[in-house]
Structure 1
Amino acid sequence: MINLTIVAGARPNFMKIAPIIHEIQKQKNAGVAIDFRLVHTGQHYDKKMSGDFFTELNIPDPNANLGGGGGTQAEQTASIMVAFERELLENRPDLVIVVGDVTSTLACSIAAKKLQIDVAHVEGGIRSGDLSMPEEINRMVTDSITDHFFTTSEIANTNLRNAGVAEGRIHFVGNTMIDTLMANQDRLIKPEGDIYDTLEPQKYVVMTMHRPANVDEESKLKALIEAIVNGVENMPIIFPVHPRTAKILETMGIEYPNLHYSAPLSYLEFNYLVKNAKGVITDSGGITEEASVMNVPCITLRDNTERAETIHLGTNELIGTNPVNVPPALAKLMGGNWKQYQGIPLWDGKTSERIIAAIISLYL
């Protein structure tokens, strides 16, 4: 019997673990001796940031919720580590599966390895090279102690080889986020609200911003929003506001007739908007992956990305964080001159099948 512990804590994690859980359940029902415990670290505790995903993506209720949300980076890391160590001592698995690059990923991999439990990192090996981003530190530390890496691209494989990781520990499988996207393409739903009833396909833009480089300085955030508003030719802009950004926007009073703020949307609602949009403007990593596969133009307000394949083969373009770079990018978008999705290897909806097949081969 293989006993797995799967860790999730923040919004991007839930899309990544859902297909892995579904594949484990499928194999278990077929008679394979495999089982799992799902541990929610509680890093995101807002319902729209975590709770809705269990229902929407058909994820079972967690076996444990560590309640690790809130506090500083260090406080959150410490809280999750203490609680996860207790969880592992009471329910010791053969393998802990962590996903992505959030605080929970780092904290739980350290706790597991200190108890001599193997760790598998789904989305291992990706790098931005930007140590000002907490996520980059999480990736580097997690990968330095990981036993098995389930990678999304040849770029990630090369990063791991360059770090001295043995070939047998690198498993090129694809992207579980795309498994979730493909499984739910026919289930995407229009959000409720008057503004959404007025939107026409390809005649609005979706925007998200939450990174400190874009939102922490009020004058910078104001200049970015102004440049975007002025560059979309009066098209509606739908801006689901991350809780972090909401606190900053509350004091600024930025209002334009075509700028529509909303609370964070559910997975199915948000991707409905992306799929039908003229384009997406974001500083997120995961959104660039989904937009690329849906062949929706994506403008990224960052100087670097850990998902370079979305630029080489996808629809993503980095334009940096300087507001002066926004108008030419939007002129290109509005003119219909954006590049098309070329297809990214193994982003085919079958990544979770490859992950579980590898784990069965390794541990059963």
Structure 2
Amino acid sequence: MKRSLKTLGLSERAEHELVGILRMPESSVSPVTAIARRLVWAVLALFAAVLIVYLDRDGYRDVNEDGISFLDAVYYATVSLSTTGYGDITPASDSARLINILVITPLRILFLIVLVGTTLAVLTERSRQVVKIQRWRSKVRDHVVVVGYGTKGRSAVSAVLSDGIDPSRIVVVDTDQAMLDAASLLGLVTVHGSGTRSDVLRVAGVPRAKSVVVAANRDDSAVLITLTAREMAPKAQIVAAVRETENVHLVRQSGANQVVVSSETAGRLLGMATHTPTVVDMVEDLITPDAGLAISEREVEDSEVGGSPRHLPDIVLGIVRAGKLFRVDSSEADAIETGDRILYIRKVTPADD
């Protein structure tokens, strides 16, 4: 027995049923530009019809029987394309009638499409979205899913974009349509729904995602989202933000690789700012990827293997070995090994922006 549409999960629905929930980025065009384009097409269609009628004017009959002038051709094309059709000028010869069938009628349809463009644009947009969603769902791999597009989510997206990730490979999940509209303007793929629902996360492609950023407003939501995402994507890098330190272990047990305590981090910075404000400025500079200095990670070069990270020209903070970070002052970081990655401070140049 078939289930009704209401009982189907989002991930089981066809592409045309996801329009309005999953939204692919579109190039933004101002209303004035859109109207101007439609007017240009309407004028071109009208001009083509006028030219065709005037060149074949001997095949048309006027009730005044004084021949077809250029003004008569403009008049006939206008009333014909607008489907007014007074009948005072009619195609009389076989060639004129054939041209009306093969050329004028398609131009009339084009003209009406332009005039009724607002309604048809909605239908066209829906069709384009269906095609884009179908293509995206079949090809998306190793993308980044950001659950929650509040202050934390927007900052996370900015950092990911600064690393050179294409906006179309970032998926934002949120229940606030205004937030999703803002994300769409940046070229991001958006999914309207709650990240605590498994079917919403499936639509966002979490099972095939490379990284998942959990930026929920509530810690209990962060725990549930992390748990669901980890079940879907056992190998994905999951980073979650929580408000309270006491909830860190819950999020880690749910499967998060990294947990950021937003309130505690903000509190530390506030406290430091009371007596060492310049330190706070430096920290802000380091965690802002598009200005000044930035913390980055790179692969080691063959010539660096066996050497000490302290002797590198870069300001090295640590070594990442087998997914584990060793600070530069630890004994494990005395010598660089093959396969290590260097965590260092780099200067952001205009080319990086």
Q: Same fold (TM over 0.5)?
A: no
Query: Comparing both structures, which one devotes a greater share of its residues to helix?
Result: 2
Higher relative CO (Cα under 8 Å, sequence separation at least 6) belongs to 1
Based on CA coordinates, which of the two structures has the bigger radius of gyration? 2
- Compute the TM-score of the two structures, normalised by the length of structure 2: 0.34
